[in-house]
Each structure stands twice: as C-alpha cells, then as structure tokens.
Amino acid sequence: MSRMVCFVAGCGFLLGLAPAPCSADTVSVSVFCSTGSQTVNFAASLSCMDQFGGAGASVGVVAPGNVSVTAEGTHGDSAQASYTTTYQLLVTNGVGSGLFEPCFDVLSAISGGSASASFGRVAAFRNEVLCGGPPVLALDTTPFVFGVPQTDQLTMMALGGGFSGGGFASWSGFEVFDSSGNQLASAVVSLIDITVPEPGFLAPLTTLLALLGVCCATRDTRRVNA
C-alpha cells in the first residue's frame, strides 16, 4: 500500500518587493509498505507499518532558513520526502561584493538511502556538511553584491528503502564571506519566500480586481456628483 501527499504552500503577493520570476513552494511526502499497511498522516508527514518493517517521511519548515527533510524505510518498504521553493535573497550591512554559503547537513545510509540539498548553484550530497569554516570549494559558495537582491531556488530531497535505508537533509541559514574567503560575521542575510497563485486562481483574481476597479470608479463618480 502506498500513500502520497503533495501540496503547494501559500498564494501570497509581495507587490513591489519581488520583481523576479516566482514559483510556489512544493512539499511532497510518500511512503510504501508491502503488506498489511497502517498509514498515519500528519501535516507534511506520512508513515506506515507492516508485519516486516515500515517507512516514514516528513518535511519540516520552521522558517525561511530552517528546513529539514527525512525519509526512512526497512525490509523492502520505502519513503520519499522533498521540498522546493524560491527565495529572493538580500545581503546587507556591508559594501561591495562577497560570497555566501548555505549551511547544509546531508546524511544517508549506504544501503538504500540517499539525500541531497541545493541552493542556487551550491549542492550537497551524501554525508556532506557545509559551513563551520572557510569554504572548501569555490562551488560551495554563490557570489552576491551587498544591497542587491537576487533570486535562488532551494531544493531538498531524501529517500529511504532497501533492507534498512534512510536519508536526511537540513538547511540552517548561511555563512557570508568576502571575496578572499574571510567570514563576515556582521553581514545580514534577509529572505523573502516568493509565491504566486496557482493558474486556476488567476482568472477569479483578475475578475475580482476588475470589479474592485469598477466599484472604486463608481464611488469616485458619486463623490464628484455629490
């Protein structure tokens, strides 16, 4: 028996704050248990059990810069968890340009588990930790200019299965460096989670805005005539 939950989070607007192309947050969790399944479903999490083992998957979003995905499966049962969103990022409290590194912690069991995380061009895979010191590789960082917003996508994934396999990935913010790799502890990173309505929501929204425009125009005419 398998269960899957997939939803798009939020339909918010940030007028004047997000000129870049936008996308919606996507959370997906799924589990599969071979026989006698008993599934428990919580917000952004699933689990199931059978006579041999079980599986579980969850996505935790505490706040921008604090996200985790987990998936575990045993004895042939499997699980998957993923999270994708787009952020507008702004680094302040400095001048010129620099580099930022997303703080990822990625763990996976060799037998049937895997995990990964990426922010923009930076990616972390099995048993890799980013942050906690100067960047090891140039591709572990992304260039930025102080005071200039930029748009990057966050993608996190975990798979669990096999005899006893699991994957885990977490993201806990950023470390910021100058162009020489020296950490800038005073730099401030601000994130705006960019979301847009689903396509089916756009037509009713357009109609509503048109009606509001007519309503306001009628009201102004009444004021003038009065």
Q: How many domains does the chain have?
A: 2
Same domain, yes or no: 86 and 182 = yes
CA 69 to chain centre: 10
Same domain, yes or no: 18 and 93 = yes
Parallel, antiparallel, or unpaired for β 54-63 and 66-74?
Answer: antiparallel
The residue behind tokens 């699933």 is: 46
Q: Does the pTM exceed 0.85?
A: no
Give the pLDDT of the chain (226 residues) as one tens digit per residue. Answer: 444 443 333 322 222 233 333 345 788 888 888 765 556 666 688 888 887 888 999 999 888 889 999 999 888 888 999 999 999 999 999 999 999 999 999 998 767 789 999 999 999 998 899 998 777 777 889 999 999 999 999 999 999 987 888 999 999 999 999 988 899 999 999 998 875 544 443 444 344 334 334 333 333 333 334 4
Q: How many CA atoms lie within 13 A of 150 on its CB side?
A: 18
Same domain, yes or no: 204 and 113 = no
Same domain, yes or no: 114 and 204 = no
Same domain, yes or no: 45 and 135 = yes
pLDDT at 163: 80
Q: Which domain, by its residues, includes 214?
A: 200-226
- Which DSSP letter does residue 43 get? T
pLDDT at 224: 38
Same domain, yes or no: 170 and 206 = no
Same domain, yes or no: 112 and 130 = yes
Same domain, yes or no: 172 and 226 = no
Same domain, yes or no: 157 and 220 = no
Cβ atoms within 10 Å, residue 135: 18
pLDDT at 32: 85
